[in-house]
Structure 1
Amino acid sequence: MEQTLFGIKKRLLQTAAMYCLLTCLLWQHSACADDNYERAQDYIQKYKPLAIDEMKRTGIPASIKLAQALLETNYGTSRLATEGNNHFGIKCKAYWQGDTLLVDDDTLQECFRRYPSVYDSYIDHSEFLRYHRDGYYNHLFLYSSTDYISWAEGLQAAGYATSPNYSKNLIAIIQRYHLYDYDRPVTANYLPAVTPPSFNAVAYAQNTPVPPVQTAKPDAGFSKTFVPKPAFNAATKLPLNSYSAAAETAQATHPGQTNSAPTYAALKLEEVFINGLHAIIATADLHLSYIAARFNLPEDDVYEFNEAQPTNKQVKAGIPIFLQPKKKKAANGMEAHLVQPNENLLEISQYYGMKVKSLCKLNKMQPDETPKPGSILHLR
């Protein structure tokens, strides 16, 4: 009798212990899932503008880009992401000329690409897919930017990752966090776009040393007249989606539908001298942090050179970006500027390589004041 009671008590204790263990395991799993969800939301909020902008530029769905980044970086926490700014798990390959980081992956101490910034990682991912030496991913660009399922399956079929469940994992992440919402032009247009440039994208994608742009040399008469916006050369073809309003509407209302191949426009970049100062002019909006990385300059210095506002560190296409401090006044012979519609004081100061403060002082204006079209501003 006592042995029977002892056995019953023993089984009850074992059952209780097992119940406690299962409860703890479920709690840990729930807590881990909650942590991942919060990390995912933080990552998405931080980088969705960049993913959307790259989608507009190249046609790669923002949902795919974000899902790959979340998966490859373990929600932004991996060593590859935190130390190497590599958010897509792209390995060095024999032709990579940039910095590297050794990380254990399929084998021990594998070589991965290290980037100066996250912007570079997002851009290189786009160019890696678009301009891969063996053309593994060319067929993906025949799919609509809203057809994330075909993109996910195509990435796995092309061998982007070794996991047999890679496409299923991407699709699960996209659907869990509703990332497909960012593939729809109507939604995307309401979000701020970050536009980091890609300098000589083909060479960058193929990871060969980027040839330097021929720097213009000022001649004797250079400072006598305003330097016009140059005829851009050093052209580099970059994929720029060109959608009609009807196509955008169709994509917004019919997710998953394939579309014809996107068209491509050219981004052109040129180094010039303005007011005797080294500057860059481009046909696309440029983010100053990328310019800093490209020319190996401290970001804070580039922001200061171009008097960037805390809330806006991009420069519009056609506006000079300076790689050294601007001067207090315009070049000799540049006495006045006729204000054009929609011009502001910062843009005008950039045209002449002079500080906004000096321009305001000469014309008794405040930095946030909008100059009247047709008015004359003194430059010296």
Structure 2
Amino acid sequence: MNRIFFAFALIIVSKFHAQTWKNDEQYIQKFAAYAVEEMEKYKIPASITLAQGLLETGGGQSRLAQIGKNHFGIKCKEDWTGKTMKHTDDAPNECFRVYDDPKESYEDHSKFLAYRKYYVNLFKLDMKDYKAWAHGLKKAGYATNPRYAYILIDKIEKNRLYEFDNTNSKEVLYTVLKLYPGLRDDKIFMAQLDQSKASSKPVTVKVPYEQTSYAKQQEKVEKIKTRAEVLNSILVKNHPNGGKKFVIIPEDADLSLVSKKFGISESKLMKWNELDGTQLRKNDVLFLESKSSSGNVASYKAKVGESMHDVSQKFGIKLSKLYSKNRMAYGEQPKAGQLIYLQEKKPRS
């Protein structure tokens, strides 16, 4: 029995790795040209950019990449005036940038590194030394994972991404073909390659990304789904603050639907989430148990239009405790940029 189980597990794991590898290959073929073009403009190794893109998007499969064309997990920040989307990362429903094209995401990533003081020392490194860049990114605080540099290096070496550090935007398609000779049978790719021969301009691989994107497929599916069916697909998540169970509401709905789905009375859901009505809105955070009395971080700066209830839900803190910690009258709302205390009480002035 153990042997049979092991063999079955091996097949499953093999299929998973095969699919992951396929996703990585397709990602490289689609976006290598963008990475090389950014290398020419901003002097960032194409291998590093591609490895970060592969890692951030899971080979192009992440929700942020497929819906928001955001390949590097760049959050809104104060200076962003473009389109946005909500996505759960360090906290529920955080604000992330949305781009019209993945190419914009690649350039924004380059600017993120080139124009921030934390990364100035990276540009003193040899542009072909991807190992030094990987360790430099970790040292500069780009990621918290202690193995981040080694993960990038592993991505680069497994996929031979260093080949793209030695090419240019005119020759990048030849480098792609060198890595994936099977593309000779791909008529679309070979047509692009022929076109690049006659052009002296940098080559950008045009991929029918929109036609196959998750967003468009999802749009078609949602049209035939009822609201109840959408709610049935809700996944229960654990909040970073104490592991409290919560869900994100995918569509406007009545609280009764959530109550029935999880077998929790409406009165309890209203009490735990400090609701004054039963109408839920898309992207609302709804806790399935009582929230914590304190936060998992010390403080937070309120954003434009955020209410105390928004902050309470975002950080999983009881609203009454949040008011108390900040010495604010119940119902009073924060101003944009106001420091909200999440653990200790605000010092008396």
User: What is the TM-score when the length of structure 2 is the normalising length?
Assistant: 0.48
Judging by fraction of residues, say which structure has more helix. Answer: 2
Answer with 1 or 2: which has the greater Rg: 1
User: What is the TM-score when the length of structure 1 is the normalising length?
Assistant: 0.44
